[in-house]
Amino acid sequence: MFFGFLIIFGIFSLCQYFFFCYTFLVKTKERTYIAYLAADCRRRHSRKYIGKWIIGFCVQLEFLIDNKWIPIIRYDSSHAFVHRDYIHPDGKVEKTPIIAKDFNDALTFSENDIKINWESYKEKFMKEKEKRHK
């Protein structure tokens, strides 16, 4: 009786494991698209879906510096909380949590933040880059 229960429980767990793998590895889709805000500035939007549900997102502000597209600011939902990443020229990432209850909120925050601060982010990045090369 006990071994029978163990076998059934084992089969059930295995099924759950395969379902989990199928859901996250096979059914998960990622969509990325780019919108140009200027000739040297673009915004990259990425989302992860399972079916109709969004399970993750990322909005990234990139600048064309020395003929390379470099991400400087990123708003994303990885690491279990919505946050803003400032990416330093040496690759170090500075994380700031964002108070956003959902994707819509985070989107509004990113729009306002970019509108107000994009020039200062770029300036800060360029200054750090120059310092690094000295």
Is 60 an interacting residue with respect to other proteins (CB under 8 A)?
no
Out of 1, 2, 5, 52, point to the residue binding other proteins (CB under 8 A).
52
Question: Site size for other proteins, by CB under 8 A?
Answer: 27
Q: Which region, judged by CB under 8 A, interacts with other proteins, from 16-24, 41-49, 75-83, 92-100? A: 41-49
Is 123 an interacting residue with respect to other proteins (CB under 8 A)?
no
Question: Among candidates 83, 74, 72, which has minimal Cα distance to 127?
Answer: 72
The two structure tokens encoding residue 27: 């059914």
The two structure tokens encoding residue 123: 């300036």
Is 5 an interacting residue with respect to other proteins (CB under 8 A)?
no
Do the bridges between strand 41-50 and strand 28-38 make them parallel or antiparallel, or are there none, so unpaired?
antiparallel
Q: Which is nearer to other proteins, 50 or 88 (CB)?
A: 50
Is 92 an interacting residue with respect to other proteins (CB under 8 A)?
no
Give the three-state DSSP class for 4. helix
Q: Which region, judged by CB under 8 A, interacts with other proteins, from 10-18, 29-37, 75-83, 123-131? A: 29-37
The two structure tokens encoding residue 74: 């990123």
Find the DSSP H helices in 22-102: none
CA distance 134 to 129: 9
Is 34 an interacting residue with respect to other proteins (CB under 8 A)?
yes
Number of neighbours of residue 117 by Cβ within 10 angstroms: 14
Q: How many residues does the chain have?
A: 134
Using CB under 8 A as the criterion, which residues of the chain lie in contact with other proteins when the complex forms? 30-39, 41, 43, 45, 47, 49, 52, 54, 59, 103-104, 107-108, 110-111, 114-115, 118
